[in-house]
Amino acid sequence: MKARSVTIVVHTDGELRTRTYRLPLWAVRLAKAVGLAVTALAVLFFAFAGPITRAAARVPTLEAEVSRLRSENARVLELAAALNRAEASYQELRSVLGAPTAGADPSQRRSGELPRTRVITARLPGTRSRYEIGPSVPSHWPLDERGFVTRGQIRPGSEAESHPGIDIAVPVGTPVRAAGGGSVELTGVRDDYGVFVLLRHPDGYETLYGHASRVLVRDGDSVSAGQVIALSGNTGRSTAPHLHFEVRRGRQMLDPLSLLKEGT
């Protein structure tokens, strides 16, 4: 059986001769398929090349925008730090002049330095500690200094606002010590107490330390009497730096001044 072919005759105007080309049919079909494939690839290329080219053209603009935003963000951080320093200086000046300072919840502060603790005097070698070892009922003043009791306990049912516990005015960063040995029942932040620590002691006693600037223990920790558990501050519902101190037994609020050995 003779193979099929395609004959192509080429005649140039003005010439007597013609040129004849005979191509196998399979070669013509192959050339047709290749042509269609090339055409399809060309169409796809131009369909996708446009968006890709436009996206590539935007890269320098986007890089410049990112650089500008980073520069602005660094400037904002600098301004925030300067504002915090100015606010700290303002509050310090108000404290020196005797004006009340407004408290703030530390969770709402974006940045700023942590309060610095005051100098703690070490006990001389060979001297006995005034604190007992192990769990004990609260009987010690929670500060190294007496401080100034600005508000005493007000019994519920009185005409004034009920205020369990006492407020002791001390500078921010004063070490707060456990009034007795026990365990850390709860730490956290509340609107009324600010940053606080709640300790559980033997015989159903509990002590609460509020308005702290920093907590130094964790929930479930065992603490001994006299251990530094927090630093005083001005957080929560507070108008000046102080420690809010409560003593409870069961569900009954007790007057701390009737239990403590030191500071009264």
Among 41, 70, 99, residue at a domain's last position: 99
Whole-model pTM: value is: 0.52
pLDDT in tens, 189-243: 998 899 999 999 999 999 999 999 999 999 999 999 999 999 999 999 888 899 9
CA atoms of 187 and 2, how far apart (whole Å): 99
In this structure, what CATH number is given to the domain that contains residue 252? 2.70.70.10
Q: Are residues 162 and 253 in the same domain?
A: yes
Partners of 168 in the β-ladder: 149, 243
Q: How many domains does the chain have?
A: 2
Highest mean pLDDT among 93-97, 202-206, 257-261: 202-206
Pairing outcome for strands 228-232 and 243-249: unpaired
Q: What is the DSSP letter of 137?
A: -
pLDDT of residue 262: 55
Residue with tokens 């192959």: 30
Which residues form the domain of 17? 1-99
Higher pLDDT: 102 or 20? It is 20
Is residue 110's pLDDT more than 80?
A: no
Q: Which of 183, 261, 174 is nearest to 224 (CA)?
A: 183
